[in-house]
Amino acid sequence: MKKSLVFLLILVVSYSYSQSVNDYKAVIIPVKYDFLKTENQYRLTTMSKFNLNKAGFEAFYSKEAIPSDYSDRCSLLYMDVVKENAFLMTKLFVTLKDCYGKIIFQSAVGKSKEKQYETAYGEALNKAFESVNELQYKYNGTINTTMEPEVTKPLAAPVVLAQKVVSDSVSDEKEMDLLYAQPTATGFQLIDSSPKVVMKVFKTSSAESFIAFKGDIKGVLIAKNNQWFFEYYENDKLYSEKITVKF
């Protein structure tokens, strides 16, 4: 009886996921995953595109030019590969998220006991994609709106243009586009509308403070009066840059 219930639950979950992914026209693939050091290391990025195409998805790398038919970022899914900590084993799973970072689909965990990284990562990724193939994806022609889904936000950032507010008598200004937070295993990556990763932030013991990297600049992302600020030192001067971000 219990086995029958579990099997029925798996069918229901798989069906609901399948219906969800069918609402999206294509998938954007990052050129580098967080657990790797370089772009397309161990060929995981190209393997991801191959597997997505095999599963029926139209797929594009985040750095390549995307046809105008796919210009609405909320009609696309955003892929990520996450590595689980494991002893003497490599474990990877695939997530497909919408334009606001909500997980639409998460694959089963692919596992490998191979010792060489390239072989292990490749085997684990291919096994994770087995559950993606089972979705039998086919775009249903749905036109997704760009309205933000209703979610509870502990710290809602206002939708305004970002500008640089400088301490230590520095007064020049700088604008930034609205950024969108995509969850990662250790925090978030903040992407613009292209989509391109602009910043990476890492969780701390406080929900109002993150360790932050913007390119080669290291600082902190902190909340003040329901607004977010990226603070860092440059030439011994403290800069506080207001960041407009949707979590």
**Residue 115 is part of a domain; what is its CATH number?**
3.40.50
Share of the chain above pLDDT 90, in %: 45
53 and 172 together in one domain: no
pLDDT digits (tens, 9 = 90+) for 4-14: 544 444 444 44
Residue 142 inside a domain? The answer is no
Using the structure block, give the residue that is written with the tokens 């990763």: 197
110 and 229 together in one domain: no
pTM for the predicted model, two decimal places: 0.55
pLDDT digits (tens, 9 = 90+) for 196-234: 888 999 998 888 899 999 988 999 999 888 889 999 998
124 and 200 together in one domain: no
55 and 173 together in one domain: no
Pairing of strands 26-29, 187-191: unpaired
Number of domains making up the chain: 2
Structural contact between residues 46 and 118, judged by C-beta atoms closer than 8 angstroms: no
Question: Could you list the residue range(s) of the whole structural domain that residue 101 is in?
Answer: 2-133
How far is the C-alpha of 13 from the C-alpha of 7, rounded, in Å? 10
The interaxial angle of helices 44-54 and 117-133, nearest 10 deg, is: 20
Model pLDDT, residue 144: 64
